[in-house]
Structure formats: structure tokens, C-alpha cells
Homo-oligomer: A and B are copies of this chain.
């Protein structure tokens, strides 16, 4: 009895995305940056989930220069290559409260305020070992999951910003942030800014950060969890220039914009969002991209202060597995809120049986403390003559004794 009219209803997210893009695509607020030699038009948006599912609307395949968005990803590469101590010595991580063309170094002898202002981005680019640009491009391509190209015209037409970048490069040399002449790093930086991407690419790149460093489409780990978290953290405070506070209120996702018209955002654990619209506001951020991001953050509760709380871990059921052992089936998250209830159930089950088997195959998220807690509980129980067996995956549970399933647990319990 289903009818064709229902077909559209089967794509609610795609439809919604299209509607949001439609609602802003004809806005003519803001100014197109004149940085590029050729005009780029359009408006588009794409979402990539941490499961690797991609949604797109509008001109999501239109290419444009990545520009400053590159800064976040080159910083990630620098952290991967050098470690955060090495990089921290050269680049601070504090918001500067200044526009993107802020020039000064902070402190004595002076480090860039953060890796997302120009001078910090050039420093981050220098941190990447040579051959710099091939390495950077390869990293971007793995992030996007496809081959990317440099826009030669934009690369060659760097113009005024080229002079400024040279000034910044020599300042870095003067302040001994970098220990060689800046030419190669500057060339690599100019190239990286000229790389052509689409809103879809940005969605996938953002999803890699949201997915703790694993590219969700290819499954490749491109950076450590720590690096992904650090990049998201720096984007949260420094990503949107002197509009950082307003963006955090309105959108609430760590993000990075570029004068090419793109913005990448990430909802940690959920998705990456890429938007494109060439007209920029006074802060240098895409007018339409900001509106799309704000709208989607609201509609899908992507704002960091509105994300759903983790589920309490709950006890699904407690049954006798065999005369000696009780089976406690847990589900949900072992996050802060569920730890005590879960533990109570295990201890309760141990009250009148010599063994307890905890089935964690339905538990999704286990926080660090819970991972550390289970072996402790296991040890305590052993000290009182009890045994604790856990059904689940090893990396989820630290060093606790782990079985693949109930049958294996039963076998182990046999004397």
C-alpha cells in the first residue's frame, strides 16, 4: 500500500540538507574574496558520518581552493610527524582574539599564537619534514579519499598575500621558530592553500577528525586519537578567527574556514560537515556556510552543549548460566553515569554464586576509568574466592579475562 509519494520521505536527511542549502543559496550578503584569479560560484553542503555514510546537497562537487582550512590538517600532520611537545615548543595554542591576518608573535622569544593564524600555519607547514608539499598533499588525499589537484593559477597568483607570507616567514626565522630560510616552507604553504577540494571532501576530512583519526570511508587511521582531539580542541578556540565566540554560540562545533568559501566542521563521534559558498563576512567566513552550519547544528543537536548524553549502562538481564555462575548482560555505555549501577549488579550477582560472567557485547562505549576498573573488580573478587569472566572484545576491557561468547565462558568455568 506504500505509494511513490512516500519515496521522498525515505531520504529525510538528504531532503533536509537540500532544503537548507536552497534556503540560503541566493543570499548575496558578504563579499567574494579576490584572492583567486577566477570566480567560483555556487552553494553546497555535505555530511559524512563516522560510519562513512555521505549526504550531499547543492554544489557539493564544485571545487574551490581549500585555503586556510588546510591549516587544521597540516597542523595534524605536523603533530603526527613530530609529536606535540616538539610542535608546542614552536607554536602556541591560544586564541589571539585577532583577525586572521594578525601578525605578532607572542611571548619572548616569540611563538605564533596558534597554528590557525597565518604565521602559525606557516610554522606548522615548516614542521612537516621534507619533501613537504608531496607529503602534505598525500595526507590531504588520504583524508579526502581521492586524488586532489593544485590550482596552478591560484598558486601562481598569490599576489599581496604572498608578500605578507614572506614577511611572516622571515619573522619566524628571526624569532628562531624555524631554523632555516623560509622559502621552501612558504612554497609548500602556498601550494597547500591552492589545493582544490569540494564540500564532500571537507565532509570526509572533518569526519576523520570526528572519528578520532580514522578516515570513515577507507577505514585508514590517519592520525592518533590524541592528535585528532588536539586538532578539534584548537579548532574550537582558534578556528573561526575573531568570530570564534559567536560561532561557538551559534554552531558549537569546532570548525575552520577558508577565504575560498569553504568551512569544515566536526561533531565529535558523529559526523563531519563541509559547506561551500564564496561570499564572505567581515571575519572572512562564508556567509552561506555559516548559516547552513548553524541550521544543521540546531536541527540535529550537533552543538557541543546539546549533544545527547551517553546512555546509562543498564543491566539487560541477570540469569543463571550454570549452577556455579550467574550471567549479567549489560547494554548501553560504561560512561560516567552508568558505571556504578553496572558494578552493583556484578557484585550483587557474586553474592550467592562463586562465579560471575559479564556479557559486554551489547555495551558500546567504555570510558578509560571503567576499563581500568574491571580488572580491579576481578582481582577483588578473586581475593574473596570468586571468579569474574567477561564476554566481549579485549581492547574494550583492558587486561580482564575475556571470552568470545557464553560457550567459551562455560568451558572456562569447568573445573
Interface residues of A (CB under 8 A from B): 1-3, 5-6, 9-13, 16, 47, 49-51, 92-98, 103-104, 113-114, 160-161, 163-164, 166-171, 173-174, 176, 212, 225, 228-230, 232-234, 236-238, 242-246, 248-249, 252, 254, 267-271, 298-311, 332-333, 335-337, 339-340, 343-344, 347, 350-354, 364-365, 367-369, 372-373, 376-377, 380-381, 383-386
A–B complex contacts, Cβ < 8 Å, 5 sampled: A1-B351, A13-B339, A47-B336, A94-B243, A233-B305
**Contact B95 A95, beta carbon cutoff 8 Å:** yes
> 10 closest pairs, A vs B, by CB?
A269-B309, A97-B97, A167-B170, A308-B365, A163-B174, A299-B369, A93-B245, A166-B170, A163-B173, A94-B245
**Contact A302 B336, beta carbon cutoff 8 Å:** yes
**Contact B252 A229, beta carbon cutoff 8 Å:** yes
Q: Name the residue on B nearest A94 (C-beta).
A: B245
**Contact B49 A95, beta carbon cutoff 8 Å:** no
CA distance A386 to B6 in the complex (A): 11
CA distance A270 to B13 in the complex (A): 28
Q: Name the residue on B nearest A168 (C-beta).
A: B167
Given the complex, which residues of B lie within 8 Å of A10, measured CB to CB?
Answer: 340, 343-344, 347
CA distance A370 to B170 in the complex (A): 53
**Contact B237 A244, beta carbon cutoff 8 Å:** yes
**Contact B270 A252, beta carbon cutoff 8 Å:** no
Given the complex, which residues of B lie within 8 Å of A365, measured CB to CB?
Answer: 301, 308-309
The listed residue (B1, B269, B305, B335) touching A254 by CB distance below 8 A is B305
- Contacts A5-B380, A103-B103; A268 near B304 (Cβ below 8 A): yes
**Contact A335 B350, beta carbon cutoff 8 Å:** no
**Contact B304 A336, beta carbon cutoff 8 Å:** no
**Contact A93 B246, beta carbon cutoff 8 Å:** yes
Q: Name the residue on B nearest A101 (C-beta).
A: B174
**Contact B233 A343, beta carbon cutoff 8 Å:** no
Given the complex, which residues of B lie within 8 Å of A383, measured CB to CB?
Answer: 5
- Contacts A244-B237, A270-B336, A337-B49; A350 near B94 (Cβ below 8 A): no
Given the complex, which residues of B lie within 8 Å of A96, measured CB to CB?
Answer: 97
**Contact B230 A384, beta carbon cutoff 8 Å:** no
**Contact A1 B160, beta carbon cutoff 8 Å:** no
CA distance A358 to B243 in the complex (A): 43
CA distance A340 to B12 in the complex (A): 7
The listed residue (B3, B94, B174) touching A242 by CB distance below 8 A is B94
How far does the Cβ of A283 sit from chain B's closest Cβ, in whole Å?
A: 10
**Contact B97 A95, beta carbon cutoff 8 Å:** yes
**Contact A49 B167, beta carbon cutoff 8 Å:** no
How far does the Cβ of A341 sit from chain B's closest Cβ, in whole Å?
A: 10
**Contact B160 A164, beta carbon cutoff 8 Å:** no
